[in-house]
């Protein structure tokens, strides 16, 4: 006796799937003649048509052979900020370095000034424009950091704007408190005293208001020492918050190994990471988030140790690092291209970096990042012949449709 058709809300047929599932033993976890079914915003089936149950769908879409990938995940952004830094771009073209500008009170601190002065609505409007660019290229989840307030009120303001984006726009938002992004002018030369404030009253207020999912620190010569980083992380963990780190971007302070040892979800940037750091990350399951936009824009020449990461089995994620100073970039597709051309990732690694591994970098590996039953139905449908095209083209957007939470 044939079984009853299964009711679902939406069905996508005649599609090729890049499931990115490690359980499917083909490049991209690919399924040639695939079907995706969703109910209540969740995937109930993603796989070959030949093995699919019979579905009774409210809405059925013939994909015409297009490719479906998981919705893209931008796991490291600073999307909410005031002003811009186009003038510093001009200064750098006249010879000033990123660090010169930072030490002269520009850089991050100039964005801090503009962010403190901006209203919540102004911050929302600016971030919303940048978000729209991400969404247009298939992003369904975005992480947003604070870090341009460097005092309690503005840090809370940035995080509430980030939360508001998650309420008002069709995108999943994870927020990260980056109070330890730079030493504010009020604490010039007293980074330790400021780190104490971040680890104490500022973190208390952020946690109390439930405004952050994770806590991040910029561990660097121009920012915070390993000791200060450890102090902030210890306080974050005591509050049950996940930790992430900006590390080994301009020099090697051992931040990644420190963060991995404390159970960090990810360590990000990593151009100056050494083998002991890679091994510590592998041991802890800490994801390496590489940010080719910042590498490119700062004209860095030292590359992150991709071969060592592969050799030791560290998962590699990619992100835009969208920010006004080091990566004014809001194109995940360009990030994939840059990761391949600059860091020699394969197109398959690049797509995994913006899907499966980006999910793990946010602690959301059971929720998103692959096309698998039980996960949220976040899809990107592309007008392409093969998934490598997503990394191959420059400045061309083949997105056909984007589905968030089954909608």
Site of interaction with ligand DI6 (CB under 6 A): 107-108, 111, 181, 218, 246, 249, 294, 321, 323-326
Q: Which of Fe ion, ligand DI6, none lies near 294, with the C-beta cut-off 5 to 8 A by kind?
A: ligand DI6
- Residue 296: which H helix or E strand, with range? helix 292-297
CB of 197 to ligand DI6, least distance (A): 18
| d(C-alpha 215, C-alpha 180), whole Å | 9
CB of 282 to ligand DI6, least distance (A): 23
Q: Which residues neighbour 308 within 8 Å (Cβ) at sequence distance 6 or greater? A: 273, 275, 278
CB of 348 to Fe ion, least distance (A): 25
Between 224 and 404, whose beta carbon lies closer to ligand DI6? 224
Cα distances (angstroms) measured from residue 95 to each of 72, 250, 324:
36, 18, 19
Count the residues in the chain.
407
Tell me which stretch binds Fe ion (CB under 5 A): 29-37, 254-262, 314-322, 382-390: 314-322
Cα-based torsion angle of the residue sequence 80, 81, 87, 92 in order, rounded to the nearest 10 degrees? -70
Between 248 and 378, whose beta carbon lies closer to ligand DI6? 248
Q: Is 321 in the site for Fe ion (CB under 5 A)?
A: yes
Question: Collapsing DSSP states into helix, strand and coil, what is residue 154?
Answer: helix
CB of 101 to ligand DI6, least distance (A): 9
Between 246 and 402, whose beta carbon lies closer to ligand DI6? 246
| d(C-alpha 218, C-alpha 144), whole Å | 15
Q: Are 113 and 81 within 8 A, CB to CB?
A: no
CB of 234 to ligand DI6, least distance (A): 20
Between 247 and 399, whose beta carbon lies closer to Fe ion? 247
Q: Are 45 and 357 within 8 A, CB to CB?
A: no
Between 138 and 325, whose beta carbon lies closer to ligand DI6? 325
Q: Which of ligand DI6, Fe ion, none lies near 107, with the C-beta cut-off 5 to 8 A by kind?
A: ligand DI6
The site for Fe ion (CB under 5 A) is made up of: 321
């Amino acid at each position: 006796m044939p079984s009853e058709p299964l009711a679902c809300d939406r069905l996508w047929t005649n599609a090729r799937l890049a499931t990115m599932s490690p359980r499917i033993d083909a490049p991209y976890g690919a399924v040639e003649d695939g079907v995706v079914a969703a109910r209540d915003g969740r995937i109930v089936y993603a796989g070959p048509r030949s093995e699919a149950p019979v579905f009774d769908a409210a809405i059925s879409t013939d994909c015409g052979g297009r490719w479906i990938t998981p919705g893209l995940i931008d796991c490291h952004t600073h999307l909410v900020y005031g002003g811009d830094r186009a003038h510093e771009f001009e200064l750098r073209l006249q010879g000033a370095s990123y660090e010169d500008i930072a030490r002269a009170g520009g850089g991050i601190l100039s964005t801090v000034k503009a962010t403190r002065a901006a209203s919540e609505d102004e911050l929302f409007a600016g971030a919303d424009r940048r978000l729209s660019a991400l969404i247009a290229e298939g992003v369904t989840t975005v992480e947003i950091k604070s870090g341009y307030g460097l005092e309690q009120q503005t840090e809370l303001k940035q995080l509430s704007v980030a939360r508001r984006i998650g309420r008002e726009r069709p995108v999943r938002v994870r927020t990260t408190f980056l109070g330890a992004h730079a030493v504010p002018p009020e604490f010039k030369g007293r980074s330790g005293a400021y780190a104490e404030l971040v680890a104490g009253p500022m973190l208390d207020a952020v946690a109390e208001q439930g405004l952050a999912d994770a806590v991040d620190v910029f561990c660097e010569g121009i920012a915070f020492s390993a000791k200060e980083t450890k102090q902030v992380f210890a306080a974050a963990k005591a509050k049950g918050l996940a930790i992430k780190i900006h590390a080994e971007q301009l020099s090697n302070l051992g931040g990644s190994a420190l963060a991995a040892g404390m159970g960090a979800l990810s360590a990000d940037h990593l151009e100056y990471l050494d083998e002991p750091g890679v091994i510590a990350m592998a041991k802890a399951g800490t994801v390496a988030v590489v940010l080719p936009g910042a590498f490119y824009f700062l004209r860095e020449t030292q590359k992150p140790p991709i071969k060592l990461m592969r050799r030791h089995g560290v998962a590699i994620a990619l992100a835009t690092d969208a920010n006004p100073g080091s990566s004014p970039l809001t194109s995940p597709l360009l990030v994939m291209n840059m990761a391949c051309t600059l860091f020699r990732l394969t197109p398959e690694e690049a797509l995994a970096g913006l899907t499966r591994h980006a999910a793990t970098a946010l602690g959301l590996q059971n929720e998103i990042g692959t096309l698998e039953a039980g996960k949220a139905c976040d899809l990107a449908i592309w007008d392409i012949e093969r998934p490598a095209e997503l990394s191959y083209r420059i400045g061309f957007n083949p997105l056909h449709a984007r589905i968030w939470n089954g909608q």
